[in-house]
Amino acid sequence: MRTRLPDTLAGEARDVAETALRACVHCGMCNATCPTYQLTGEELMGPRGRIYLMKQALEGEPVTDLTREALDGCLGCRACETTCPSGVQYHRLFEVGQAAVLEAAPRPTIGRLQRAAIRALALSPAFGALSGLGRALRPLLPSALRDKVPPAPGPAGRPPVRHARRIVLLTGCVQSGAAAHFNAAAARILDRFGISLVEARQAGCCGAVPGHLDARDAAQTLARRNLDAWAPLLEDGAEAVLATSSGCGTYLHDYPDLLRDDPAYRERARRLAALVR
């Protein structure tokens, strides 16, 4: 795809955008695995349409609310990358393109407040308590809300740390409140194979929640905190870092991109990404 990026876009952001846009052949195979395209059938709600919208924004063409809303509809799941024959790194282009779109078409105040509220709630210890309250009130809720309440967790028992082989567990944020049994099940399975899961008390959200909700600086802060928290465990012999949420695992793999401009952490981020399971 031909590009005419302005000189105002420079550095690694320009390289990322140019490489991704030139690689795209506009074949549309990505739409076959895009959940939002499958749901709507609309070109702008698929990767190919979004790539064109981002290209226009990066080239300085007018950006409207429709452009921003189409990008907001992206789940960031990267399923499109699994079927792209040209190897387009859509997620890297999306990061650069969304920033350009938001600069040209800022989000309305109500939208910014909603996203700030979601970030605050998801990262709050109160999320688990509110999930429990929602389950208690589930029979009284309207059907539209009832279906959104996460089910009660199953058996959450976890074996003690008792093996020489250890893996660091990402406890996370939303999953810990809505589906705590996932991590417990992982601990029980690995325990049978002679591996104990250990946690770092200071670690928490991988950064995906703020990263996907217009708060890249906050995501970087969380990434640095996790790197600092996991370092002693990894230096003490832990073999890897385990994420039982696919979205969290993907975001951990992207730490080198997230911290690429931080000389104190970018090499540590690369080493961590290689240890993520």
Has residue 49 been placed in a domain?
Answer: yes
- The count of other CB atoms within 10 Å of the CB of residue 164 is 8
Whether residues 172 and 267 share a domain: the answer is yes
Has residue 151 been placed in a domain?
Answer: no
Instruction: Give the integer Cα–Cα distance in Å for 183 and 179.
Output: 8
Give the relative orientation of helices 65-72 and 47-58 as an angle to the nearest 10 degrees.
Answer: 140
Whether residues 20 and 93 share a domain: the answer is yes
Residue 128 is part of which domain span? Answer: 109-146
Alpha helices, DSSP H only, in 73-158?
90-104, 109-122, 126-137, 143-146
138/229: higher pLDDT: 229
pLDDT value at residue 172: 86
57-89 residue pLDDT tens: 999 899 999 999 999 999 888 999 999 999 999
What's the domain count of the chain? 3
pLDDT value at residue 234: 97
Q: Is 235 a residue whose pLDDT tops 80?
A: yes
**pLDDT band at 149; cut points 50, 70, 90:** confident
Whether residues 21 and 115 share a domain: the answer is no
Closest CA to 57 of 10, 3, 11, 111: 3
Find residue 196's DSSP bridge partners: 166
Has residue 153 been placed in a domain?
Answer: no
196/18: higher pLDDT: 196
Has residue 113 been placed in a domain?
Answer: yes
Instruction: Give the integer Cα–Cα distance in Å for 205 and 251.
Output: 10
Has residue 25 been placed in a domain?
Answer: yes
State the DSSP string of 58-92: HTT----HHHHHHHHT-----GGGGT-TT---HHH
Between 4-8, 72-76, 251-255, the lowest mean confidence (pLDDT) is in 4-8
Q: Taking all residues of the chain, what is their mean pLDDT, rounded to a whole number?
A: 91
Q: Is 51 a residue whose pLDDT tops 90?
A: yes
Has residue 155 been placed in a domain?
Answer: no
Q: Contact 24/89 with Cβ under 8 angstroms?
A: no
Map tokens 């104990």 to a residue: 196
Q: Contact 46/34 with Cβ under 8 angstroms?
A: yes
Whether residues 60 and 113 share a domain: the answer is no
Mean pLDDT of 121-125: 88
Q: Return left, alpha or beta for 40; rule: phi > 0 is left, psi -120 to 50 is alpha, else beta.
A: alpha
Between 81-85, 127-131, 157-161, 238-242, the lowest mean confidence (pLDDT) is in 127-131
pTM: 0.84
Closest CA to 124 of 178, 185, 198: 178
Whether residues 184 and 264 share a domain: the answer is yes
